[in-house]
A and B are shown apart, each in its own frame.
Chain A
Amino acid sequence: MRRVYLDHAATTPVHPEVIAAMLPHFHNSFGNPSSIHSFGRESRQAVDEARELVAKILGATAREIVFTSGGTEADNLAIQGVALAKKGQGRHIITSQIEHHAVLDACKYLETQGFAVTYLPVNAEGQVQIADVLAAIRPDTILITIMHANNETGALQPIREIGRLAKEHKITFHTDAVQAVGSIPVNVDDLGVDLLSLSAHKFYGPKGIGVLYIRNGTKLKPLYHGGGQERKLRPGTENHVGVIGLAKALELATTEMDTKQAKIKALRDKLMGGLLAIPEVKLNGHPEERLPGNVNVSIRYVEGESLILSLDMQGVAVSSGSACTSGSLDPSHVLLAMGLSHGEAHGSLRLTLGQDNTEEDVDYVLGILPPIVLRLRQMSPLYHKR
């Protein structure tokens, strides 16, 4: 059976060149980077080089790069770290209703610790409005955290504009760029961010390694304490194999990015067109301002998990914002924030393309999906009631 992976927003396979770059560091150059002997020095050098490379790609300096265990930790370090460092100045944080749970739940936790959080709404296309950000700013606002690209709809947020606003008001600005990095150009000065999170497994690197970029001068406290690694902001023996993998993956993803992403976008547009040709299917998110590999649609009268199972039976891997797949009783908070009805959110399907997808993959999916939709609709009492 043909297998088609269309869930690259969830994770990606590790690129063979990344594996090759990592392998020797498991057993040959395995030293602890903090050791002063030759084994340690080799690892230290590899970590330093990786840090330089990551910094260069992001337009940062090496000392502004802190390696973490992934996106979730980077988000938490940014949000809680700033809250801890600046609570004397103010206790108000601005974020949005469509953030990843790594951001939302960190903010919710801070609410239990005496902080106030404003969760900005989004428009029907899933984008934060700059006027809403401005209106939410208070004298005691210490942090704005808004994601670069949404993980469900791919919707791009006005990061540059928010960056300018934050600068004007001298408020620290963090962006969760976990979905953006590797898919679109990301430069910290261009975006005007003080803090930026990324995670290697979203761009063909290994899981469990990420970065928090911290602009020089940004006040931030560590969340835990131990050795002096990562300028004491993230102590613990470095995951040097992961670091090397992350740097290699980032280098590969950003080399000829335009060409690679143009190819992905062309396939995505074909897939999107084919899906929207099925009756009563609507696009979620912005038609243009979205990640090149992302399609998200709501298919009326059917439920997402049934769609996923049916597609999986034919080898196609996708995801949905239905409650059944979110592990809670409510469907996707992102789609609900955009004003979708519960029915539309339960019937949502996210397909995210990657570098290895082909035109045949798209044709295959467009061939098998309409009969699946028809079968589930014929089973659905809503379809008959309409």
Chain B
Amino acid sequence: MNSYNEKVMDHFKNPRNVGSMDDADGIGEVGNISCGDIMRIYIKVDGEERIADIKFQTFGCGAAIATSSMVTEMAKGKTLDEALVMNNKDVASSLEGLPPVKMHCSNLAADALHAAIKNYREQKLGHKDISDAAEAHTH
């Protein structure tokens, strides 16, 4: 854990887009308390299906916070389809790498983003209520 690179530490120290969103169009949450990482992502989607705004809240280690911050930066302005192509590995690469032990357990931020997009689309189809999202844990 003492081998985070500068970029990871920068995102840990100055995380981008922290917070919640009262009027989110989609909310996604992954992780669970037993493994020690929980990430929640809120998205606001515009008329062209672009991510107009994005926020995160994370309980977890340095890598969990840094990947959450990074994924919000990467996703902002992307269309939903573009955002769905990004995966956890891409997030880690944009951070110029994570310690090997962190690749598995704390590198879930793209999954949280995908869950938020899924939640948005399901609501649009009228399948689900936004308040269900936080309960829709994967893992």
Contact = CB atoms under 8 A, between A and B. Distances in A.
A301 to B, nearest CB: 7
A306 B33 contact: no
Interface string A320-362: 0011110101110000000001110010000000000000000
B36 A324 contact: yes
A303 interface: yes
A342 B18 CA distance: 24
Given A331-B36, A342-B33, A381 B59 contact: yes
B87 interface: no
B85 interface: no
B5 to A, nearest CB: 13
B20 interface: yes
A331 B33 CA distance: 11
A134 interface: no
Interface of A: 301-306, 308-309, 313, 322-325, 327, 329-331, 341-343, 346, 378-382, 384-385
A381 B1 contact: no
A331 B36 CA distance: 8
Interface residues of A: mostly helix, strand, loop or mixed?
helix
A380 B58 contact: yes
Given A313-B13, A325-B1, A380 B59 contact: yes
B125 interface: no
A382 B18 CA distance: 14
A303 B40 CA distance: 15
Given A309-B12, A329-B105, A381 B61 contact: no
Chain B interface, DSSP helix/strand/loop, else mixed: mixed
A346 B33 contact: yes
Contact of A305 (B20, B29, B61): B61
A381 B57 contact: yes
B38 interface: yes
B59 A302 contact: yes
B60 interface: yes
A327 B64 CA distance: 15
Contacts of A378: 18
A306 B35 contact: no
B75 interface: no
A382 B20 CA distance: 12
B62 interface: yes
A305 B134 CA distance: 24
Contacts of A323: 35-36, 105
A157 to B, nearest CB: 28
Interface string B88-119: 00000000000001100110000000000000
Contact of A309 (B15, B37, B38, B62): B62
A343 B33 contact: yes
Nearest to A327: B101
B45 interface: no
A141 B105 CA distance: 41
A354 to B, nearest CB: 21
B34 interface: yes
A382 B38 contact: yes
A342 B57 contact: no
A358 B39 CA distance: 39
B58 A346 contact: no
Contacts of B40: 381
A381 B12 contact: no
A309 B39 CA distance: 19
B61 A322 contact: yes
A346 B18 contact: no
Most buried by A among B39, B65, B102, B106: B65
Contact of A379 (B33, B57, B101): B57
B21 to A, nearest CB: 12
Given A306-B65, A327-B101, A384-B20, A379 B58 contact: yes
A15 B85 CA distance: 57
A303 B57 contact: no
Nearest to B101: A327
A106 B20 CA distance: 48
A229 to B, nearest CB: 37
Nearest to B40: A381
A28 B36 CA distance: 53
Interface string B6-38: 000100110100101000000001000111111
A384 B1 CA distance: 27
Contacts of A343: 33
A324 B59 contact: no
Considering the complex of A and B, which 10 residue pairs feature the smallest CB-CB distances, nearest first? A305-B61, A324-B61, A381-B57, A346-B36, A381-B40, A342-B34, A380-B59, A343-B33, A323-B36, A309-B62
Contacts of A305: 1, 61-62
A381 B33 contact: no
Contacts of A325: 1
